[in-house]
Chain A
Amino acid sequence: MSSTRRDFLKTSLGTAALASLGPMVPAVLGRPACAAGITPDAGETILVVVQLAGGNDGLNTLVPFEDDVYARNRPTLRMPPEKVHKIDDLLGFHPNMTAFARLYREGRLGVVQGVGYPNPSGDHDASMRYWQTARPHQDGCQTGWLGRAVDHARCPDDASVPAVFVGQIKRPLTVNGETAIVPTIRSLKQNVMEPMPGPEEGPAHQRRLVEAARLPRPGQDNPLLGFLQRSSVDAYAVGRRLEEAARTATSDRTAEYPAFQVARDFHTVAQLIRADLGIRIYYTELGGEGPGGFDNHANQLGNHCALLRQLSESVAAFVDDLARDKLLDRVLLMTFSEFGRTVKENGRRGTGHGSAAPMFLAGGCLKGGMAGEHPNLTDLENGGQKFHTDFRRVYATVLDRWLGFDSRAVLGETFEPLDVLRV
């Protein structure tokens, strides 16, 4: 645990209060050693996953502008070479992704190309489910890969929250665990403890809540009571931190985030990271529910351009915000979508459901650049590019090498991690 969090808890509770807790020191101060899956040294690294629902068109995100096959297959949707943000002689970012191009140059954005899984499904629900559960073709799987990660990593005596979903839709399957309850956070304001109005002032009312939980219960040998006392005292300290974060949220750098919902969600994540609550995993989304906003079977151009701009500018605002507070080295962001699109456009200025697509990584500890080759545009599967990197290798990378969890326990088998991180 970082010293700032420890210090905060001390000041917010008062040193005297802490001393009077005696053996009942809050769990976050003396975290139990039984959190089995966590490598102690991995400490405070943070993963932010961005779900892009609908099937993002990888080819118009990372554009093979020099490829004739691309140009031939995309008579109305192709991006003109002079407008893309060139990375090298072959590939460039979509014209609207100026910010991604900058992050890439700065080494704060990396790309894993050609990611997918065997026998890809072209069905939104099924394929999204496979990515969320990390169990392709096992339709009965009821837990998500991050839910399982949390189940493995936490111990039931520690009431801290290792993962949250920050977003406006129904909580995605990815964070469903068997035992862990992963909260949904829509905005910081909605998660602040409202004091009960009345003669006792708000702060006094809240102080009394803490005091009532904290006062000793002599002669009690009920282990559940001790657990609840500890957890309640810690929870109120967390509540105070959230309040603090919500108070500063309106003034603090709001102007530097673009006016998109996904940017607001990233800002919330940044505030939560700054509040230093020990949350290791944040799940966010762009594209919404149902088939999802990235599903463009007709007149794709305008809608897709807008979404890529939102993604690019929002991620950049988030990265810059964290970099300014020297927090970026602790954070890794990762995007995914359930599939790519067909290489050939469909006659309605749209594209069909394809297969492999690139994933984007952002953060302060990336090797940067491209991982893997750009998949061939003529050797196709479902009309889309063939994958060469199983998405579970990317998951294994972030679980093992970034979070310090045991990827085998989460994924059920061993996947070779990729060499994309500076850790």
Chain B
Amino acid sequence: MFDAPQSPLRPAGTTAAEPPETAADKWSDPRWAWAPYEPDDARRWNSRLAGHLYRRAAFGADFGQLERALDDGPQRTIDRLLQGEADATVFNQTYDGYEAGAASADGLRAWWLRRMMLTPHPLLEKMTLFWHDHFGTSNADVKDARLICAHVHLLRSHALGRFQPLLEGVARDPAVLVGLGCQANRKAQPNENYARALMDNFTLGKGNYAEADLREASRALTGWFVLRSRLRYIEREHDAGTKKVLGREGDFDDKDIARIVLEQPAASRLLVGKLYRWLICETDPPGKPLIAPLAESFAKDYDIGKLVETMLRSNLFFSPAAYRRRIKGPVEFALGIIRGLEGMIPTGPLGHELAALGQNLYHPPTVKGWPGGRHWINHATLLGRSSLAQALLAGKEPYGETLDPLAVARRHGHRSPEAAGRFLLDLFLQGDVEPGVREALLQTAAASDAAAGSNAGQRLRQLAHHVVMLPEFQLA
């Protein structure tokens, strides 16, 4: 695309969609922030913003997706990301079938990564991962592949739906109950673990409820058991008496508790704040006034899809306040490379490597999920990312030859080593790299001498390794 002017991708602007005058004020003004982004001369729709959208709402874009996004404009591209391609349902049913045959969490992990790699509805997987992180149920505690598989299916089925049914489902999900040590909720001995996780982590956050609320809510949850990996309701173990929870009084059951908790303004604030960090920016927590309108409207119906849509279409999402203001997790890092190079690789070994980098799918470290952000990065995980990128790009076992930068560049009409090098930088970073760095890297590709013919493929693999190890590429 840097073979402009023939390039189908319009050249990138120098900055992301920047609002005119007093930028910082605008970013914290909710009216401007959450209004839909409309490209104009000052904030042009370009490949950088398209790449940004695909990093956040998917696992990165390939060249064709970037081109199509530029032609379609932001609104239609976001429509497509929200809805998925037409065959997403069939695709997901097929993968549900594959997962049913997986005997271990390692097997499930491989299938999920493959699903993320090939899905026609990547936003659904991105949000499933978000909820997996949010609920923090780990097979290290559950120790049952069938249950943890059903848990992630539950998350997927509501990932872009409504939060209340999701929360009701989670309260009766054997994996969650086993994971929290709540297999037995007896009338005589209410187990407080679920109520604590519900209030602390899933909805309200510490300080937004009293210990008494937690004790009373636990009484409402009695009667539910997990026996031999199956959910059972035992009527006589349910405490049908009156409970007082968060200012309400009644003979509540588990569904009532979900409803009452979600009536608290703290619940929608916590969820909107968390989604803000996931989709928009993790450097600074949002100010209360900024997220207030979103939290208020989310509280009305807890429609996750609508909230995600508002965020993705917003001015703020396409502003410098969001642009590259997140650190990619290991899954995003690896899939960004794989999807960019239009390949498909064995996900068994990949799942293992990603676990070593700190993101073991189906095994979040604690009920609080992955801490993310700067916690992804230490000297060992950076060296690990380099080794993983090397292995992915080397064209050898265990990942095979399907990731071939030169072949991809040629497929898109860039034949000379130098043009292919520019193509790679654009594909992975949409030109987001300082000229000095860019020139230093392109020397690798451009040192095209007599040997270039036979070595061009390897040369480009080296360049690709450099590009994906740039600090910029670690940013989502």
Contact = CB atoms under 8 A, between A and B. Distances in A.
Interface of A: 139-140, 142-143, 156-157, 159-161, 164, 176-181, 183-184, 191, 193-200, 205, 208-209, 211-213, 215-218, 222-225, 227-229, 231-232, 234-236, 238-239, 242, 277
A198 B464 CA distance: 12
B474 A228 contact: yes
B387 A194 contact: yes
What 5 A-B pairs come out closest when comparing CB atoms? A198-B458, A228-B471, A181-B358, A183-B380, A235-B382
B471 A215 contact: no
Contacts of A238: 379-380, 383
Contacts of A235: 379-380, 382-383, 386
Contact of A177 (B365, B383, B465): B365
Nearest to A159: B378
Interface stretch (B4-12, B343-351, B432-440): B432-440
B102 to A, nearest CB: 19
B441 A179 contact: no
B444 A224 contact: no
B244 interface: no
A64 to B, nearest CB: 40
Interface string B447-476: 100010001001101100110011110110
Nearest to A138: B181
B54 to A, nearest CB: 19
B100 to A, nearest CB: 26
For the residues of B in contact with A, the DSSP-based class is helix
B440 A224 contact: no
Chain A CB within 10 Å — which of B371, B376, B393 has the most?
B371
B384 interface: yes
Contact of B365 (A176, A200, A225, A231): A176
Interface residues of B, number: 58
Given A215-B440, A225-B324, A160 B379 contact: yes
A198 B374 contact: no
B375 A212 contact: no
A208 B466 contact: yes
Chain B CB within 10 Å — which of A200, A212, A222, A234 has the most?
A212
A181 B458 contact: no
Interface string B369-399: 0010111111111111011001101100000
Nearest to A176: B365
A391 B371 CA distance: 30
Contacts of A232: 382, 469, 471
A209 to B, nearest CB: 6
A120 B50 CA distance: 59
A223 B321 CA distance: 12
Contact of B327 (A139, A177, A180, A224): A224
Contacts of B365: 142-143, 176-178
B462 A196 contact: yes
B372 to A, nearest CB: 9
B371 A212 contact: no
Nearest to A205: B462
A215 B437 contact: yes
Contacts of B466: 205, 208-209, 212
Contact of B379 (A161, A212, A229): A161
B387 A142 contact: no
A199 B384 CA distance: 23
B170 interface: no
B380 A199 contact: no
18 contacts: A140-B180, A142-B141, A143-B365, A156-B375, A159-B377, A176-B366, A193-B387, A194-B387, A198-B458, A199-B447, A211-B440, A212-B441, A217-B437, A222-B475, A224-B324, A228-B377, A228-B474, A232-B382
A316 to B, nearest CB: 29
Interface of B: 138, 140-141, 180-181, 193, 283, 324-327, 356-358, 365-368, 371, 373-384, 386-387, 390-391, 393-394, 434, 436-437, 440-441, 444, 447, 451, 455, 458-459, 461-462, 465-466, 469-472, 474-475
Contacts of A183: 356, 378, 380-381, 384
Nearest to A191: B383
B325 A196 contact: no
Contacts of B469: 209, 212-213, 232
Given A218-B434, A223-B283, A224-B283, A196 B390 contact: yes
Nearest to A211: B440
Contacts of A227: 374, 377
A187 to B, nearest CB: 14
B379 A231 contact: yes
A236 B386 CA distance: 10
Contacts of A160: 378-379
Given A183-B381, A209-B466, 18 more contacts: A142-B141, A143-B366, A156-B375, A159-B379, A160-B379, A176-B366, A183-B378, A198-B459, A200-B459, A212-B437, A212-B440, A212-B469, A213-B470, A216-B436, A217-B434, A229-B471, A231-B377, A235-B379
B365 to A, nearest CB: 6
Contacts of B387: 193-194
A216 B437 CA distance: 8
A167 B390 CA distance: 24
A199 B459 contact: yes
A181 B451 CA distance: 43
B475 A228 contact: yes
Contacts of A195: 390
Nearest to A213: B471
A193 B394 CA distance: 13
Contacts of B379: 159-161, 231, 234-235, 238-239, 277
Contact of A224 (B325, B375, B451): B325
A415 B386 CA distance: 42
Contacts of B437: 212, 215, 217
Contacts of B374: 156-157, 159, 224, 227
A211 B458 CA distance: 20
Contacts of B470: 212-213
Contacts of B475: 222, 224-225, 228
Contacts of A217: 434, 437
Nearest to B448: A199
Contact of A161 (B181, B380, B471): B380
A198 B441 contact: no
Given A164-B380, A198-B462, A142 B455 contact: no
Contacts of B140: 142
Chain A CB within 10 Å — which of B376, B379, B461 has the most?
B379
Chain A CB within 10 Å — which of B378, B437, B461, B465 has the most?
B378
A205 to B, nearest CB: 6
A140 B181 contact: yes
A222 B16 CA distance: 13
A268 to B, nearest CB: 14
Contacts of A140: 141, 180-181, 193
Nearest to B376: A181
